[in-house]
Amino acid sequence: MSLRAYNAHMEHIGQQIENRARNIEMDRVDPITQHGFTQLPNFLFKNSGLSMGAIVVYAKFLSYAWHNDYCFPGQERLAAELDMSRSRITEFISELEKKGFISISRRGQGLTNIYKIHFQVKQRKAKTP
């Protein structure tokens, strides 16, 4: 293949890639999509045993943890962003922990907890007294 033919071929490939990139371009001016999306596993809505409030808090954790398996928003911040009381947030976080959807690492007074999100949820056995 001559250099001229090679360059024409590479230009053609480059144009195809550019066209493909334009095919998936999103309009970021839209106020609905400019802050991104949070996907939820469907199993949350099918016999997960979670209340709707706990599902909403789990979704918020996923939105914070986008590229990680953990996040550390403060409960006050969660309450403000979800328009709930702090005590309700605490209740829903406790529900998620008891059912094995998250685990909590406490870092100390004045610091936010680290919430590890579990994607393979197992039902925890009840503790015997």
Q: Where exactly are the structural domains of the chain?
A: 42-117
Q: What is the pLDDT of residues 48-78, one digit of tens each?
A: 889 999 999 999 999 888 778 878 888 999 9
Query: How many whole angstroms from its chain centre is CA 42?
Result: 14
Lowest mean pLDDT among 22-26, 61-65, 99-103: 22-26
Which residues, in sequence order, are CB contacts of 41 under 8 Å at separation 6+? 119
**How far apart are the C-alpha atoms of 69 and 71, rounded to whole Å?**
7
| pLDDT reported for residue 104 | 92
Looking at per-residue pLDDT, the higher value among 8 and 55 belongs to 55
User: Does CATH place domain 42-117 in 1.10.10.10?
Assistant: yes
